[in-house]
Amino acid sequence: MLIEKNRIIFEKMIAKILKPVYPLSNFVDSIYCYCGTSDGMIQQLIPDGKTDLLLNFGTSIYIFDEKNKRKSLTDSIFQGIRKRPYTFEFGKSLNIAGIRFLPLGFSALFKIREKDISDIPVTAELIAGRAIKEIEERVYEEDDISGKLRIIEKWLFEYFTKRDNSGIIAASALDELNVSKGLLKIKDAGRDGAGYKRLQRTFREYIGISPKLYSRMLRFESIHDELRKMKETDWMNIAAKYNFYDQPHLIKEFKFFTGITPNEFVSKIDMFV
């Protein structure tokens, strides 16, 4: 069962995003689908601590490396936790669906640690095998965009219930970080020394980034969401609310996650996801 979060209709493109409910909500951030004509849509993907599965049904997708070299992708892909911004450019015809996994979600469902998945997109079949082809076929044959999302939801539930998930237990400290949107101090996570150590060990063994970096990712994601809703940008409020020491600290964080200044980010905000 899913709760619809948002539905955006562009002139020639339909995008629909669904948020999962329990128990998938412990493992999956969102399921989405884009269909229609994009006219070369460009998106900047901000590092956010999540792992992505993108099902591709004939869409030309291009990524740019650190030297701005363009590479074409035509298959369904997995992308591990990003540690730097990524630029995706879509071809004219757009037909994709995707899943955004929370930390430990990918590990729980596929028994592959997040830290073992490259942040450079790789062909999904290399990681998940025939299961990817099966879900691709089922989603492709469904014409209705809501129906596509329901198929993916059902597949995730089926996949999850078949797995033995006892080996991976999400630390309560990780849940606390998620709820706090990155504002909880790492040393206070878990409420006791054992919880903090468990959090550190979980990130080291499974996720591949530090709890501190993940907390910063959560905080920046919250700032991004808030800026989208603001009619007028209030940087003083943002800095105070999200515990920045001063303006240079805020600017440094924006450049780390996006490569540009806060004001430049706001002027291009629709490009960032």
65-74, 90-99, 218-227: range with highest mean pLDDT = 218-227
The pTM of this model reads 0.86
Asked if the model's pLDDT at residue 50 lies above 90, the reply is yes
Domain residue extents for the chain: 2-162, 172-271
Which superfamily, per CATH, for 172-271?
Homeodomain-like (1.10.10.60)
The pLDDT mean for the chain works out to 85
Quote the CA–CA distance of 79 and 119 in Å, as a whole number: 5
Query: Is the domain defined by 2-162 classed in CATH 2.60.120.10?
Result: yes
Average pLDDT over residues 245-267: 94
Contact 100, 80 (CB under 8 A): no
Q: For the segment 161-172, what is each residue's pLDDT rounded down to a tens digit?
A: 776 655 455 556
- d(CA 216, CA 5) in angstroms, rounded, equals 24
Q: What does the pLDDT read at residue 164?
A: 60
Lowest mean per-residue pLDDT among 12-21, 88-97, 181-190, 244-253: 181-190
**Over the stretch 119-140, which tens digit does the pLDDT of each residue have?**
888 899 888 888 889 899 999 9
Does residue 68 or residue 142 have the better pLDDT? Answer: 142
Sign of the CA dihedral 127, 129, 131, 137? positive
* Distance separating alpha carbons of residues 244 and 105, to the nearest angstrom: 30
State the Cα–Cα distance between residues 231 and 222, nearest whole angstrom: 16
> Structure tokens of 3?
């709760």
Percent of the chain with pLDDT over 90: 45
pLDDT at 218 over 90: yes
Spatial separation of the C-alpha atoms in residues 82 and 3, rounded to whole Å: 27
